[in-house]
Structure 1
Amino acid sequence: MLIFNKKDLLQKHLTPYLQANSPIGFVPTMGALHKGHLALMEQSVSQNAITVVSIFVNPTQFNNPEDLDKYPRTLDADAAKIATLSDAIIIFAPSVDEMYEGHTQSEHYSFDGLENQMEGAHRPGHFDGVGTIVSKLFDIVKPTNAYFGEKDFQQLQIVKKLVQKNHMPINIIGCPISREANGLAMSSRNERLSADEKQGAAFIYKTLLEARDKFKNEAIPTVIQYVEKAFASHPEFKPDYFEIAREDTLEPATLKENAKYRAFVAVFLGNVRLIDNISLN
């Protein structure tokens, strides 16, 4: 298992693949890997000559310093999990100084309004941080294909917009949400939940399924009201937002049109913030 901490050494290793036009897969992560991450890697391995997995907890996308401090950092365990998948995977695990060269600040990005909805509205500066680090990583790795999970659907749409607006020759591939047996969307933050909280968190996906069922025949405001009442009856959850939005613009919807819709939710369970979403069409 090759682990690179320096971008110049990683680029030197990748040069023969670039010269031969061999496809390079890329899976950017912040570590604390779970089966959802591994599924992205497996898809990349099946479609590329080599796969780079970055493990980097990016400080510029955290608007809450406590969340950054508590984010799990488990490089040794992550490397052991990756080693079980394939010898065609290499790890890029740089330091903050290696990535930001002493200037740990975000660039400012416009994603045509995608950044103003949901996570962007509730986490100021978050998507500037995402755009900054993804741009840096794409410039270093120069991947053919990059893989992102649909759990962070807004992020997926923003990365697609980043690539489109900057004319990057990279295919952005969205992969289905991986879930625990009880339906809880897999997330590195789940490690901070107690066993009882993990079981109770199944209520999030259960509520999304009920919202999808009601969306078939009910008006959008009625569905939203149902979900708000459902969470109000479970005071252990503190909702940050629930939105029904168009997939293309991510703008909140009030009337059904000829478009694809998705329901998005962010809730606190204890002091852990969990997000999830589901296609409604």
Structure 2
Amino acid sequence: MHIIKTTDTLFKRIQFFKNKQKILGLVPTMGNLHEGHIKLILLAQKYVDIIIVSLFINPMQFNNELDFKKYPKTFYKDCEILKKLKIDILFAPKISEMYPNGTKMNTYIQVPKLSEIIEGKSRPGHFTGVTTIVGKLFNLIQPNFSFFGEKDYQQLLIIKTFVKELNYSVKIISLPTVRLKNGLAFSSRNRNLKNQELQKAPFLYQVIKQTINKIIQNNGKNLHKIINFSKISLIKKGFLIDIFDVYNAKTLDNFSKEQKKNILLASVWLGKTRLIDNKKFIL
């Protein structure tokens, strides 16, 4: 495994593999690797010759300075995991390497509408930070494939949109959300949960599944009543709700019975930790 920290060195290494006509795959991460990341890398191994994992805690996608500083940093542990998986390149640049003029003066990529609704409304500028860094990584590495989890569903849809509209040649491959046996989605933020909160956290996915079952049983009728009942259940359990609603899975427009493919998106606070989850369903 080559650990690369500068864009110049990365470029030379990428050109070496391209000259050998190798198929390249990128798995972008912010580190603090967990089972979800591992499954993404194992998926990548089925598609590509060379796997590049990026590890960069991107300040541009944090709209809270404290949240950025608190984000868990486990570089040496991450390296051990990646060595065991036998990836080819770990790209771990400093902030100054990716944003030489600072994040405020950096050219950015923004996807209209999709970046401004739902999660984007709660976290202004977040998705612009995501698309900008992912676009920079795509330009630097020029991967044939890039791999993302479906837990961050809105993010995935936004990335697919800018890839299509800006004519990137990379193919996006997504992996269904990886979960613990109790249903809790793997997330780097789970380590911030206290023991009591960790016991409560799986209740979110239970409620998501129950809500979808009720919506299907009612054929989409009484939607607001069903959603509100679920929200009350979560609040009683100690969750603070930011987002808990049903949307069109393709466009993230508001739910409509005419659309068969739908998704329930949830974003909640449990103590000081923000948890996101989702589940798709067909009506």
Please indicate, yes or no, whether the TM-score normalized by the shorter chain is above 0.5. Answer: yes
1:267 is aligned to 2:280: no
1:150-229 aligned at under 5 Å gives the runs: 150-218=150-218, 219=221, 220-229=223-232
For 2:111 and 2:263, locate their aligned partners in 1 and report how far apart those are by CA, in whole Å.
Answer: 19
TM-score by length of 2: 0.94
Q: In the alignment, what sits opposite 2:71? A: 71
Contact 1:182/1:199 (CA < 8 Å) preserved in 2? no
1:3 is aligned to 2:6: no
| Deviation, structure 1 residue 79 | 0.7
Instruction: Kindly provide the CA deviation profile for residues 246-273 of structure 1, in whole angstroms up to 9, marking residues without a partner as x.
Output: 11111221x3113310000111111111
| Deviation, structure 1 residue 111 | 2.3
SS in 1 for 2:151: helix
Task: Read off the aligned partner of 1:100 and give its amino acid letter.
Answer: Y
Task: Read off the aligned partner of 1:268 and give its amino acid letter.
Answer: W
Instruction: Kindly provide the CA deviation profile for residues 9-40 of structure 1, in whole angstroms up to 9, marking residues without a partner as x.
Output: 11211112222332100000000000000100
| Deviation, structure 1 residue 212 | 1.6
From 243, 246, 250, give the equivalent of 2:245. 243
Instruction: Kindly provide the CA deviation profile for residues 75-130 of structure 1, in whole angstroms up to 9, marking residues without a partner as x.
Output: 100010111112x4310000000001132235454424211221101000111111
Q: In the alignment, what sits opposite 1:258? A: 259
Contact 2:110/2:132 (CA < 8 Å) preserved in 1? no
- Aligned residues between the structures: 278
For 2:217 and 2:9, locate their aligned partners in 1 and report how far apart those are by CA, in whole Å.
Answer: 56
Gapped regions of structure 2 (runs ≥ 5): none
1:95 is aligned to 2:128: no
For 1:252 and 1:93, locate their aligned partners in 2 and report how far apart those are by CA, in whole Å.
Answer: 39
Contact 1:215/1:280 (CA < 8 Å) preserved in 2? no
Alpha-carbon distance change, 6 to 108 in structure 1, aligned in 2, over 3 angstroms? closer
1:9-88 aligned at under 5 Å gives the runs: 9-86=9-86, 88=87
Contact 1:120/1:127 (CA < 8 Å) preserved in 2? yes
Instruction: Kindly provide the CA deviation profile for residues 174-204 of structure 1, in whole angstroms up to 9, marking residues without a partner as x.
Output: 1110111211110000011122211210110
1:232 is aligned to 2:235: yes
Instruction: Kindly provide the CA deviation profile for residues 202-237 of structure 1, in whole angstroms up to 9, marking residues without a partner as x.
Output: 110100110121121222223312222212322x21
SS in 1 for 2:115: helix
SS in 2 for 1:266: strand
Contact 1:117/1:251 (CA < 8 Å) preserved in 2? no
For 1:130 and 1:221, locate their aligned partners in 2 and report how far apart those are by CA, in whole Å.
Answer: 32
1:118-133 aligned at under 5 Å gives the runs: 118-133=118-133
Contact 1:245/1:263 (CA < 8 Å) preserved in 2? yes
Alpha-carbon distance change, 262 to 107 in structure 1, aligned in 2, over 3 angstroms? farther
For 1:21 and 1:243, locate their aligned partners in 2 and report how far apart those are by CA, in whole Å.
Answer: 46
For 2:12 and 2:110, locate their aligned partners in 1 and report how far apart those are by CA, in whole Å.
Answer: 32
Identity of aligned residues (%): 38
For 1:204 and 1:40, locate their aligned partners in 2 and report how far apart those are by CA, in whole Å.
Answer: 23
SS in 1 for 2:217: coil
For 1:233 and 1:207, locate their aligned partners in 2 and report how far apart those are by CA, in whole Å.
Answer: 12
TM-score by length of 1: 0.95
Alpha-carbon distance change, 104 to 203 in structure 1, aligned in 2, over 3 angstroms? same
Gapped regions of structure 1 (runs ≥ 5): none
Q: Which moved more, 1:60-69 or 1:103-112?
A: 103-112
Contact 2:248/2:259 (CA < 8 Å) preserved in 1? no
| Deviation, structure 1 residue 148 | 0.4
For 2:264 and 2:69, locate their aligned partners in 1 and report how far apart those are by CA, in whole Å.
Answer: 30
